[in-house]
Amino acid sequence: MIGIFVIVAWGLSDLLSNIPKQRQVFIVATVLIVSVLAVTTWRQLKHWETSYSLYEHAVSVTKENSWAHYNLGLEQVKHGNADIALKNFEASLRIKPNQKDVLLSIGTIFAERGDRERALQYYNHALALDPDFLKAHINIGSVLLEQGAPDKAIVHFNKSQKIAPDNSDAYYLSGLAHSKIGEYRIAYELYNKALELNPDHLKAHNSLGILLGSSGDYERSIFHFRKALDINPQFKPASQNLEATLRFLGKK
């Protein structure tokens, strides 16, 4: 901020040299007001330098602010505070029921805790509000897949593909489900579709590598494991699968 005042000081002397005194007073007053406002704005920006503090402040100074509770919950999830986030999401719903995004966020917390039944309750509620809610379809399908119900999961992944034909996860997850029921040719096509849409899809590369390795196509299997590791060298599933394949082939 010092720089602003230096500019103002040096600039004013040049500016005022050829201007009548009455106008000089007006100009000086205007510049001072603008400078004070600039300092005030700068201080406010420093105060709101994080979204977290903004939403936290909004919750503390306003009543029944559903929007603030929801966004504070999202920030708390980012900070790893799922328990506190859940309380804010629930507060948001209490103030304003039937918000699909809030329901989805609550469902996700339960899913990550391993409470799949409660997760499905919230996801299905969100889907009832919006039958074309892409994230709800994908999340429901993912939970069903974890529960060992790939046939039911495929229904939601297929719906996801219709809603968002360019969503690579919808194809990848559908491929995973088809693989679970032994439909490997369909899985192969779906993994490739996912990679066509997103060449950097780590899990699609890894799953395709597993599928190719299972069919005896080790060369292409190794290619996809290495491709995944090129994208993210820390991706353990691909590094473990690559190591196991090379060991099996006697190359390590």
**Predicted confidence (pLDDT) per residue in 113-122, tens digit:** 999 999 999 9
Mean pLDDT of 165-188: 98
pLDDT band at 38 (very low <50, low <70, confident <90, very high): low
Percent of the chain with pLDDT over 90: 72
pLDDT of 14 higher than 60 = no
Q: Please name which of 58, 113, 45 lies closest in space to residue 88, comparing C-alpha atoms.
A: 58
Q: Please name which of 106, 167, 88 lies closest in space to residue 132, comparing C-alpha atoms.
A: 167
- Characterize 159-194 residue by residue with b for buried, 16 or more Cβ atoms within 10 angstroms of its Cβ, and e for exposed: bbbeebeebbbbbbbbbbbbbbeebeebbbebbebb
Cα atoms in the 13 Å half-sphere on the side-chain side of 163: 17
Mean pLDDT of 148-163: 98
pLDDT of 40 higher than 90 = no
pLDDT of 63 higher than 80 = yes
Judge whether 91 and 63 are in contact, CB under 8 Å: no
pLDDT band at 62 (very low <50, low <70, confident <90, very high): confident
pLDDT band at 54 (very low <50, low <70, confident <90, very high): confident
Mean pLDDT of 28-43: 52
**Predicted confidence (pLDDT) per residue in 18-29, tens digit:** 556 555 444 444
Locate tokens 């500016």: which residue? 15
Mean pLDDT of 39-48: 54
Torsion of the alpha carbons at 102, 103, 104 and 107, rounded to the nearest 10? 120
Q: What is the DSSP string of 134-194?
A: HHHHHHHHHHHHHTT-HHHHHHHHHHHHHH-TT-HHHHHHHHHHHHHTT-HHHHHHHHHHH
Hey, how many other C-beta atoms are within 10 angstroms of the C-beta on 250?
Answer: 6
Structure tokens at 70: 């929801």
Task: Report how far residue 17's alpha carbon sits from residue 26's, in angstroms, rounded to the nearest whole number.
Answer: 14
Does the model's pTM come out above 0.85?
no
Lowest mean pLDDT segment, chosen from 33-37, 178-182, 205-209 = 33-37
User: 134: which residues sit within 8 A by CB, 6+ positions away?
Assistant: 160, 163, 164, 167, 170
pLDDT of 239 higher than 80 = yes
Q: Across all residues in the chain, what is the average pLDDT?
A: 86
Cα dihedral sign, 172-173-178-181: positive
